[in-house]
Amino acid sequence: MEIADGPLSDIRVLELGHVIAAPMSGALLADFGADVIKIERPGQGDMMRELGAKGRDGVGVWWKTIARNKKLLSLDWKTDEGRKVLRRLVESAQVLSENFRPGVLERAGLTADVLHDWNPDLVILRISGYGQFGPHSSLPGFGRAGEAMSGLVDLTGFADNAPMHPGFPAADSTTGLMGAFGVLAALHAIQTGQARGQVIDLAIYEPLLRLIDYHIPTRTGADLLTRRNGLQQPNSFVPAGVFRARDGKWITVSSASAATARRLLAAAGGQDWADEPRFQNLAGFAEHTDEIMDRLSGFVAQYDAADVIVHFQSHDAVAALVYNADDILSDPHIEARENIVSIAGEDTKVVGPVPRLEQTPGRVRWLGKAEIGADSRAVLTDLGLDEAAITKLLKAGIIADPSN
């Protein structure tokens, strides 16, 4: 089998998870060399294979990126023989990840105690809608429910209209990111002798709750309820917004202080307007928000987007094009930083590993493979099973291999 390289190449991850949250965690670890073995049931692949658009080869492009760099094992681990294989895998691994509803593993006889009996140093990442305990723990919880519970949806949109979800699965994706962080922290605890294997209990709403960060201290420390504020940040006192340029493209402008806000005003309405006494403190900007927004909108509408950005930059004011996918793919800065990567023989391009490590960078070695169980034979051979044992499992339907 191919030997993974990268700073995490000594880590084997067993991915029992499905759809986005746990698989995103696995993909992030795999980008930096972790040997991630994704386990799917024979004939019943991860539903991510079917979500979203299909490439010219008929394979889901979202699947290609979330299953990238992973080996695919098709195994029915709920059978007695499949459980024996799973045990051998657990004994060889450092991490197991799953995102079933609480109780699924327990009903299959795979409690944390059982898994730690098999491997005392196993880090178990458990992702669920509401966590492994608490009044809501038994309820099904998808990403949108997590976005709502975190406060993100309440903070997004216009004050006089419905709250909005973001345009990507924010709760699931950030849970994957936080899960990968938790895995590395737990592995470090083992290395430093602080702990042995442990369970990471992660609810889907918790990462966004943590990353929003300011709404809870604002409410408890300042007795203010943070409210959605349209195109500006909630509780913002300086101008910001999104405006349409003459060529139909959209420009976002922002400021972070009275000084940077005055530079924005100078760019759009001249220095005399920016120097008016009412704009010498934050309260003045808040009081005259409508006037500022109208003037910024009118200015931007007179020019093409590229000219607007150059003009604002000449005043040291922040303005940027609102990118769509084509803008991202054509941007020379993004190209220079190699943020988008290609794989030989693939039409599908994907976002490269983040963050950039100077000496041990991550890389995309392959995209998610089309066949369920594409690496079953190789994984089991590496595990020490001989051909007769593999053939027996194949005939019993406990594993699947596309070559058979």
Q: Which of 154, 172, 201, 375 is catalytic?
A: 172
251 vs 203: CA distance, rounded Å: 36
User: Which structure tokens are listed for 101?
Assistant: 């509803």
Q: Are 230 and 247 in contact (CB under 8 A)?
A: no
Q: Are 15 and 22 in contact (CB under 8 A)?
A: yes
Closest residue by Cα to residue 366 from 3, 40, 64, 116 = 64
DSSP string, 115-178: HHHH-TT-EEEEEESS-SSSTTTTS---HHHHHHHHTTTTTSS-TTS-----SS-HHHHHHHHH
CA distances from 309 to 133, 243, 252, 328, 362 (A): 50, 12, 10, 17, 33
145 vs 147: CA distance, rounded Å: 5
Closest residue by Cα to residue 17 from 93, 128, 132 = 128
User: Which structure tokens are listed for 342?
Assistant: 């290609």
Strand duo 70-75 + 95-98: pairing: unpaired
From the CA atom positions of the chain, what is the Rg in Å? 25
Query: Is 401 one of the annotated active-site residues of the chain?
Result: no
Q: Provide the annotated active-site residues.
A: 172
